């Protein structure tokens, strides 16, 4: 198994590009990732979905290479590539044999310099994104539930509350000039982190990085938007009707401490989420909701609006979801969840329970980052968020150091008067109500 605490090398180019190297000569592959410090939360009003749309545009060629050439050169080398949009960043990655490292660096530097932003590419990719929304949200039972709805109830600011997939109206009104302004503002080298992991010599790799990324002109890093939220007071609720869902579902979210500025206070919530629902049939919510009371067919609790507890910024939330059994109301599920959190708050998890969960979380983390790509992305995310990619190797010890008392204190804050609730109902329920 690869060591997530491997030796790391950092530098910064004259144009502001941050570079993180994680050499590992044990496997003959390399991963190259570029993380831009812009995500869905940075979108301006009237441009919902633009960060995701722009991710698609970055695969449409450049001034030097026509469309599809990036894919052709990576795949011809026996590699794979992709990208993804997150709340706070957008990332692009390539995994190739180690002898193709310079090819990957050239390709990423090429589109960082000048992607091909034209009317035809924009029109086609708007249609692609709209079809993705149809497939994943509007035409799918429980599509992206509760991610597309819960933030609008839990948060007040546009940055945190809007649907990052975007509205069709906003997507269709986007112009090429909008795309160029977005690129100039957010895709500057000074707003990016280049991460290399795998089989390479650091000095040789840095020379390649300087050769390909160094000539890209400097542009200033944009100021980071203020994502601060006013104090949350009282329970908030909304109802959404789903034409494809066969049974109701409910989701509740609670704001939690800042994953960066309040790291020590945040860590107990990591274990609390697993105490509640990630221990198989033995977990508390499964035992209560499914086996004992028969209120739900499935459930989940997790940290982060996208279920990414180590990959999220502030503000964020602990979320519980459940799909109800026929005849079960949302309040029955919510009451049972509240009682289970109150039980943890009053009694705490047992030492044995918490030790088992912390050990399993640590093992899962080590297994997940054993592959070169997952390790590269995890290192980059922690470097972006905390400025310390080394946290990846420290996490197992940090998890096992959390005490039952700390988890109990976290559970004490998960109360009905601090929650946002989304109740999802089949569309037939609305028709029955109207009748």
pLDDT at 4: 44
339-381, pLDDT tens digit by residue? 999 999 999 999 999 999 999 999 999 999 999 999 999 999 9
Backbone angle region of 78, left / alpha / beta, with phi > 0 → left and psi within -120 to 50 → alpha: left
Is the pLDDT at 266 greater than 50, yes or no?
yes
List all residues 6 or more positions away from 51 whose beta carbon is below 8 Å from its beta carbon: 38, 39, 40, 42, 43, 85, 90, 164
Is the pLDDT at 114 greater than 50, yes or no?
yes
> Please, which residues bridge with residue 90 across strands?
36, 85
Average pLDDT estimate for 307-335: 95
pLDDT at 331: 98
Q: In what order do the strands lie in the sheet with 419-426?
A: 236-242, 419-426, 249-255, 317-324, 296-303
Is the pLDDT at 279 greater than 70, yes or no?
no
pLDDT at 6: 63
CB 115 within 8 A of CB 58: yes
Is the pLDDT at 41 greater than 90, yes or no?
yes
| Count of CB atoms situated within 10 Å of the CB of 132 | 14
Average pLDDT estimate for 300-311: 91
pLDDT at 164: 92
Q: Is the dihedral of CA 207, 62, 182, 56 positive or negative?
A: negative
pLDDT at 5: 45
Q: In what order do the strands lie in the sheet with 192-198?
A: 9-12, 18-23, 192-198, 29-36, 90-97, 80-85
Instruction: Establish whether the linkage from the previous residue to 183 is cis, with ω within 30° of 0.
Output: no
Q: Which domains are present in the chain?
A: 9-213 (3.30.830.10), 236-434 (3.30.830.10)
Is the pLDDT at 12 greater than 80, yes or no?
yes
pLDDT at 2: 42
**For residue 431, what pLDDT band results from cuts at 50, 70 and 90?**
low
Distance (Å, whole) CA 83 – CA 90 = 7
370-380, pLDDT tens digit by residue? 999 999 999 99
Distance (Å, whole) CA 90 – CA 70 = 18
CB 77 within 8 A of CB 96: yes
Backbone torsions φ then ψ of 49, nearest 5 degrees:
85, 0
Average pLDDT estimate for 41-58: 95
SS3 content of the chain, % helix, strand, coil (to 5): 45, 20, 35
The beta-strand segments (E) located in 374-429 are: 419-426
What is the residue-averaged pLDDT of the chain? 94
pLDDT at 63: 87
With a threshold of 0.75, does the pTM exceed it?
Answer: yes
Is the pLDDT at 215 greater than 50, yes or no?
yes
Average pLDDT estimate for 383-406: 95
Average pLDDT estimate for 209-226: 95
pLDDT at 429: 78
Is the pLDDT at 434 greater than 80, yes or no?
no
pLDDT at 226: 86
pLDDT at 281: 72
Q: Which long-range contacts (CB under 8 A, 24 or more apart) does 289-294 make?
A: 289/322, 289/333, 289/336, 289/337, 293/332, 293/336, 294/325, 294/328
Is the pLDDT at 26 greater than 50, yes or no?
yes
């Amino acid at each position: 198994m690869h060591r997530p605490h491997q030796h790391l090398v950092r530098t910064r180019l004259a144009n502001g590009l941050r570079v993180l190297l994680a050499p590992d000569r044990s496997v003959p592959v390399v991963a190259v990732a570029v993380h831009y410090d812009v995500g869905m939360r940075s979108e301006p009003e009237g441009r919902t979905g633009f960060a995701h749309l722009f991710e698609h545009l970055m695969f449409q060629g450049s001034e030097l290479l026509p469309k599809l050439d990036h894919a052709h050169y990576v795949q011809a080398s026996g590699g794979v590539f992709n990208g993804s949009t997150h709340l706070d960043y957008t990332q692009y990655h390539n995994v190739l044999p180690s002898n193709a490292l310079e090819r990957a660096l050239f390709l990423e530097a090429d589109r960082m310099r000048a992607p091909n932003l034209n009317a035809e590419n924009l029109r086609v990719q708007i249609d692609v994104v709209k079809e993705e929304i149809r497939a994943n949200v509007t035409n799918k039972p429980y599509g992206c539930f509760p991610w597309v709805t819960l933030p609008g109830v839990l948060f007040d600011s546009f940055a945190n509350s809007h649907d990052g997939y975007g509205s069709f109206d906003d997507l269709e009104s986007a112009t090429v000039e909008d795309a160029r302004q977005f690129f100039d503002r957010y895709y500057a080298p000074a707003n990016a982190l280049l991460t290399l992991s795998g089989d390479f010599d650091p000095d040789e790799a840095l020379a390649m990085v300087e050769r390909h990324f160094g000539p890209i002109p400097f542009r200033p890093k944009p100021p980071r938007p203020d994502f601060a939220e006013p104090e949350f007071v009282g329970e908030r609720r909304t109802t959404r009707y789903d034409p494809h869902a066969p049974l109701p579902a409910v989701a509740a979210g609670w704001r939690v401490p800042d994953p960066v500025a309040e790291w020590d206070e945040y860590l107990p919530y990591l274990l609390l989420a697993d105490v509640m629902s990630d221990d198989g049939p033995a977990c508390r919510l499964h035992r209560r909701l499914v086996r004992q009371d028969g209120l739900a067919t499935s459930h989940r609790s997790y940290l982060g609006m996208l279920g990414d507890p180590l990959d999220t910024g502030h503000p964020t939330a602990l979320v519980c979801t459940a799909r109800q059994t026929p005849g079960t109301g949302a309040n029955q599920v919510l009451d049972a969840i509240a009682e289970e959190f109150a039980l943890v708050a009053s009694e705490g998890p047992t030492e044995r329970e918490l030790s088992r969960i912390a050990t399993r979380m640590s093992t899962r983390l080590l297994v997940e980052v054993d592959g070169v790509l997952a390790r590269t992305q995890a290192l980059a995310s922690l470097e972006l968020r905390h400025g310390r990619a080394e946290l990846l190797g420290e996490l197992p010890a940090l998890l096992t150091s959390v005490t039952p008392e700390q988890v109990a204190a976290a559970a004490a804050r998960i109360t009905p008067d601090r929650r946002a609730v989304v109740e999802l109902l089949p569309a037939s329920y609305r028709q029955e109500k109207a009748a």
